[in-house]
Structure 1
Amino acid sequence: MALPAGPATAPPPRPAPAAHAGHATTAAAPSAAEQALRLQALLGQHSVLAAEFMRGRIRGDENFAQSANAALGRNTDAMTQLLRDLFGDATARRFAALWAEHVVELFTYARGLADQDDAVRAEAREELIEYEQDLAGFFVDASHGRLTTRAANRAMRMHVDHLLGQADAYAARDYPAAERLYRESYQHTYELGGTVAGALLTGRDAAALRAPIWRLRSQLGKLLAEHVVLVEDVTRAAVTNSPDFSAAAQMLNGNTRDLATAMDSLFGAGAARSFQSLWASHVDQVVAYAAAAAARDPGRRDRARARLHELEGRLAAFLENATGKRLRSTSLSDALLAHDQMLLRHAEAFAAKEYGTAQQMAFETYEHMFELARLLAGAFGATVAARLPVGGAETGHGAMAGVVERS
């Protein structure tokens, strides 16, 4: 995979925090490009939460299913508010009604699987086909035809097929297929967010999304957030000693390889090998901590935490060196520490069956990855741009040369 890299100039600054009392200032609204990245994140998160919700229902784990359902509602509310901010209340209300019905039918389909009721499943599938067409029509209308009906229908159908396919495979205990579709569903729905945003926005807002720095942020965000999703999937399996552990671990390994491929595209094969070794070790220790939490073994937990702390420092030093100190190891260590602490708290809460807390930590960890992607994209893009030769694209750094903008 070749990731785009932007010029040395950083993306627009994030909105300033609200001022303290006595200093009344108004925070700048997020840019349209920021909102577009947010839509990608929320749609990708929807696919994950919907799959988890369906799986909890299939397993008969009602407490987990209820917590996933609540998280899914929170995700829907966030998407609705985002569309309200961008396009107004009428558009948001129409979306919310259609999306809520779409979620209800996913629940009904999962109930049919849990109860082994083929009639319920068939009826839910028919309803979902109808709602996916309505949703496709909504996006086509909102884009004023920039998104074609054919493309919108195909994208929505694929989204539903992924979710139903993973649920069918999970119910049949075909865990390799279930986990593959779980990952494909996330990737497709995340990319769907970019397609939709590109069609809904116009003029300079739409053009901004095509700039290398924004594409780099988008792709790094996708991979890093997917890392969180898949780590949490594996840790849940580790905690419960469930039979889908090996299949989930294979998907997580795939994400690690994709991140390493991105590093190869940006910094070369040697850096990619170093990164992959460090990142894989980091993943192993998070999973080891989860297993120790489930076993209530404080000694193993402490050893995993200590090993993670060491790896945080090594990863930070690696990234500082790779970016020519455009990223400082001290701030990176803090960011990686926060990432690991959230993952460990998720594992502890899940092991204690405190599913609401686990979902809250999953939300926070997922969103934190987009902050990290913003930080990394600015430094990565500047680093690659700075070392490009003066000659044409064919003389540049591997596959990156043709997509890096020069200032």
Structure 2
Amino acid sequence: MNFKKALVAVPLSLSLLIPGGLAFADDHAETPKVDTPAVELRADLDRMFSEHAYLAITAMRKGANGEKDFDQAVQALNGNTEDLTKAITSVYGEDAGKQFNEMWSNHIGFFVDYVKATANEDEAAKKEALDNLSTYKEEFATFLSNATEGKLPQDGLAEGLGTHAEQLITAFDAYVAGDYEKAYETQSDAMEHMYMPSKGLASAIVNQFPEKFDNTKAVTKAADLRSRLDFLLSEHFALAQQAMQNGADGAEEFDANVKVLNENTEEISQTIASVYGEEGGQKFKELWSSHIGYFVDYVKATGAEDEAAKEEALKELDQYRTDFSEFMATATEGGVKADTLAQGLQTHVDQLVGTFDAYVAGDYEQTWSSAREGYAHMFTPAKLFSSAIVTQFPDKFAGMPEMPETGMGGMSDSASLNWFIWTAPLFILAGAYAVRRKVSAE
């Protein structure tokens, strides 16, 4: 589709990752931007690092269950690794890219070893896999710290990599133990955590090569807003895709999956409310929740082989596209164009329905190809919405956050750091909303 071809994020190339000669506004200019070269780099790394966590956890579960699409899920995970490798290669060269690929692939292999050892009830093999992951984190931290000329501190990187490994193992162990709520809550934490390395690495790269990014910065108030929406909207797709599969399979984990999907809806709605007020947030929540319900209707109709009910669900989704697009266009005072958003929402519907239909039909390659496209697509509305909000309230998003930049983040400081990273935009947005209400009242 034209919308998808024009706007969906694609694997990074040299010209995208180091875009010389482009005329973008500086982060310190009067009008803040969410589409500077540096912020685009951060958004692409947001996508790839978070998708890694989503695909790795999914593949581990499917491996434990012996599911038919396990191989294709692993292929999707390998595709993500290739995208990350291209990004590193485009900055640091072929040798560094090969070294990255080898280490990154190895750490995925260690998770696979842990899954196999769990299935075999082999405690020694499980320990060996964990030991290998511990060694990997030190080696990989050294690699990235050296590559960034120390701009990413090795100790902080190693700590953050340890958090990543711990979260994936915790999510998997909880799943195997039947604690599905903990499994999906930890998946959410693991995906969110990966926005820290994307933030840290993007900042380090643009600080190394400032002229290649027109001296813009990856960590700004505007960039933080876009990154927050990157997480929430892409997680929505991941959870919805998983829920639709679980619904079709009658899986025990379905309720826990849907619970976390609903929590995601709450978080997005709260973000909207912090800008446009409680009434706006409630209207958003009603619309957003309804479209999730229509996907559930489609799953149920598929299970019942009820073609009429499937068509009805698609019609409801079509009406939702119109209603939601008009809501966002009005809220953003035309910053989001209703027709453009409606077209993008059709892509979202097509991708979720497409990956589900392919799964039900047993076409697992198409399942995971569509899943990856759908996940990447959600970074488009994140950019669209954040750009419109920043344009509406430029004074509130000008400049840099006050907190110092960090690398991967670690266990000791993760609570306070995560609190700042994810709640700072909400305080900013709340202030923006207060200003808007005051102006409207005058």
- CA positional deviation for 1:300: 1.9
Change (3 A) 1:262 1:324: same
Task: Determine the structure 2 residue equivalent to 1:49.
Answer: 55
- 1:158-197 mapped onto 2 (5 Å cutoff): 158-197=163-202
| C-alpha distance after superposition, 1:82-104 (max 9, x if no partner) | 11112222221111110011011
Supply the distance in 2 between the matched residues of 1:173 and 1:229 (Cα, whole angstroms). 20
Please, which runs of 5 or more residues in structure 2 have no aligned partner? 1-28, 398-427, 437-442
Does residue 284 in structure 1 map to residue 293 in structure 2? yes
Task: Determine the structure 1 residue equivalent to 2:84.
Answer: 79
Supply the distance in 1 between the matched residues of 2:89 and 2:391 (Cα, whole angstroms). 34
- CA positional deviation for 1:278: 0.6
| C-alpha distance after superposition, 1:95-147 (max 9, x if no partner) | 11100110111111111122222222111111111112211222221222222
TM-score (norm 2): 0.80
Find the residue that maps to 2:151 and give its secondary structure: coil
Task: Determine the structure 2 residue equivalent to 1:97.
Answer: 102
Please, which runs of 5 or more residues in structure 1 have no aligned partner? 1-5, 14-30, 389-395
Which of 235, 255, 263 aligns to 1:254? It is 263
- CA positional deviation for 1:347: 1.2
Supply the distance in 2 between the matched residues of 1:80 and 1:224 (Cα, whole angstroms). 25
Task: Determine the structure 2 residue equivalent to 1:392.
Answer: none
Report if aligned partners of 1:59, 1:114 keep a CA contact under 8 Å in 2.
no
| C-alpha distance after superposition, 1:276-306 (max 9, x if no partner) | 1110111111122123223322122112111
Instruction: Give the residue type in structure 1 aligned to 2:430.
Output: G
- CA positional deviation for 1:32: 4.1
- 1:60-71 mapped onto 2 (5 Å cutoff): 60-61=66-67, 63-71=68-76
Report if aligned partners of 1:231, 1:252 keep a CA contact under 8 Å in 2.
yes
Which of 352, 363, 380 aligns to 2:372? It is 363
- CA positional deviation for 1:154: 1.2
Task: Determine the structure 1 residue equivalent to 2:321.
Answer: 312
Report if aligned partners of 1:35, 1:82 keep a CA contact under 8 Å in 2.
no
Supply the distance in 2 between the matched residues of 1:378 and 1:117 (Cα, whole angstroms). 51
- 1:8-407 mapped onto 2 (5 Å cutoff): 10-12=33-35, 31-61=37-67, 63-202=68-207, 204=210, 205=213, 207-385=216-394, 398-400=430-432
Supply the distance in 2 between the matched residues of 1:354 and 1:184 (Cα, whole angstroms). 30
Q: Which moved more, 1:50-59 or 1:216-225?
A: 216-225
- CA positional deviation for 1:338: 1.2
Report if aligned partners of 1:294, 1:351 keep a CA contact under 8 Å in 2.
no
Supply the distance in 2 between the matched residues of 1:379 and 1:280 (Cα, whole angstroms). 22
Task: Determine the structure 2 residue equivalent to 1:17.
Answer: none
Report if aligned partners of 2:277, 2:433 keep a CA contact under 8 Å in 1.
no
Change (3 A) 1:375 1:127: same
Supply the distance in 1 between the matched residues of 2:308 and 2:72 (Cα, whole angstroms). 30
Report if aligned partners of 2:396, 2:432 keep a CA contact under 8 Å in 1.
no
Supply the distance in 2 between the matched residues of 1:185 and 1:209 (Cα, whole angstroms). 22
Supply the distance in 1 between the matched residues of 2:429 and 2:134 (Cα, whole angstroms). 46
Supply the distance in 1 between the matched residues of 2:433 and 2:323 (Cα, whole angstroms). 29
Instruction: Give the residue type in structure 1 aligned to 2:239.
Output: L
Instruction: Give the residue type in structure 2 aligned to 1:56.
Output: K
Q: Which moved more, 1:83-92 or 1:102-111?
A: 83-92
Supply the distance in 2 between the matched residues of 1:234 and 1:84 (Cα, whole angstroms). 35
Task: Determine the structure 2 residue equivalent to 1:22.
Answer: none
Report if aligned partners of 1:9, 1:378 keep a CA contact under 8 Å in 2.
no
Number of aligned residue pairs:
374
Task: Determine the structure 2 residue equivalent to 1:21.
Answer: none
- CA positional deviation for 1:7: 6.7
Report if aligned partners of 2:355, 2:366 keep a CA contact under 8 Å in 1.
yes
Supply the distance in 2 between the matched residues of 1:403 and 1:207 (Cα, whole angstroms). 28
Report if aligned partners of 1:7, 1:382 keep a CA contact under 8 Å in 2.
no
- CA positional deviation for 1:213: 2.9
Q: Over aligned residue pairs, what C-alpha RMSD do you find?
A: 2.4
Supply the distance in 1 between the matched residues of 2:144 and 2:303 (Cα, whole angstroms). 44
Change (3 A) 1:402 1:193: farther
Report if aligned partners of 1:239, 1:351 keep a CA contact under 8 Å in 2.
yes
Task: Determine the structure 1 residue equivalent to 2:11.
Answer: none
Instruction: Give the residue type in structure 1 aligned to 2:251.
Output: S
Report if aligned partners of 2:203, 2:217 keep a CA contact under 8 Å in 1.
no
Instruction: Give the residue type in structure 2 aligned to 1:361.
Output: S
Change (3 A) 1:132 1:397: closer
| C-alpha distance after superposition, 1:13-53 (max 9, x if no partner) | 8xxxxxxxxxxxxxxxxx34322221121010001111111
- CA positional deviation for 1:379: 1.3
